[in-house]
Amino acid sequence: MNILAIGCHPDDLEIGCGGTLARYAKQGHTVIMCHIANGDMGHVEIMPEELNKIRTKEAEDAGKILGAKEVISLNVSDLYLNHYDDKIRQELTRVIRYTKPAFIISHSPDDYMQDHREAGAFAFDVSFGSSVTHYASSSEAYDGIVPIYYMDTLAGINFIPSLYVDISETIEIKLKALSCHESQIKWLKEHDHIDFLDFVKTCSKYRGLQSNCAFAEGFRQCLTWPRIRSTELPPFQSI
């Protein structure tokens, strides 16, 4: 099975679904991570061009730790995401057609900043567009409209999961991958006094508390036709 995770910034997928992606990779599934924005405005002192290079490398290192086959950057500057931008839509369409995912993981429409919401909106729009034969016709249309699962919002605010994935066995991999994003973690600690690794571990522990395991990640399925698939009889399998 192929899984495509579409995040906004280079570290967002590690935060929201890194433990789940690591579980899939450990089981032999093909995980492809794609971030739309390059994270170039995520620092006050490091200038955007240099930060872009640093964050691209950090994301590649993190992806290797999670077991992803590939980390793709669409290299869009922070704060320039607009899900009506057809150039970005077509690039993301090519990523979906190349990946042929069984499902997509992306940002919730309720996430905390506009770029995250735009990334989720891109995933929603392009999951449909990639199946349309005459759209972005330089690549062959993907047969089917891909189901989407929204990952947790930052700090879990305004997000009630309908699915919980037990990541107790991959929490350390998730945190190790997240620690690759040193440009963010160091800055957050020194400038904002936020221990971001502890922040993310606490959120995973809280989701674990809610779902009777040590650590978990929460998801909600995007319930729009025709992205819904029927399941076996209960108890339903987690993704």
Return the structure tokens found at 49.
Answer: 């061009």
Dist CA 194 CA 198 (whole Å): 9
Pairing of strands 148-151, 216-221: antiparallel
Q: Applying CB under 5 A, which part among 9-17, 88-96, 127-135, 178-186 lies near Zn ion?
A: 9-17
> Least distance in Å: CB of 76 to Zn ion?
13
Pairing of strands 216-221, 163-166: antiparallel
> Least distance in Å: CB of 138 to Zn ion?
29
Q: Applying CB under 5 A, which part among 12-20, 61-69, 79-87, 127-135 lies near Zn ion?
A: 12-20
Q: Does 8 bind Zn ion (CB under 5 A)?
A: yes
Q: Which amino acid is at 205?
A: K
Sequence-distant contacts of 194-199: CB under 8 A, at least 24 apart: 199/155
Instruction: Name which position in 3, 5, 6, 9 contacts Zn ion (CB under 5 A).
Output: 9
Q: Applying CB under 5 A, which part among 1-9, 63-71, 76-84, 222-230 lies near Zn ion?
A: 1-9
Instruction: Name which position in 3, 5, 10, 12 contacts Zn ion (CB under 5 A).
Output: 12
> Least distance in Å: CB of 49 to Zn ion?
19
Least Cα distance to 36 among 79, 2, 97 occurs for 79
Residues that bind Zn ion (CB under 5 A): 8-9, 12
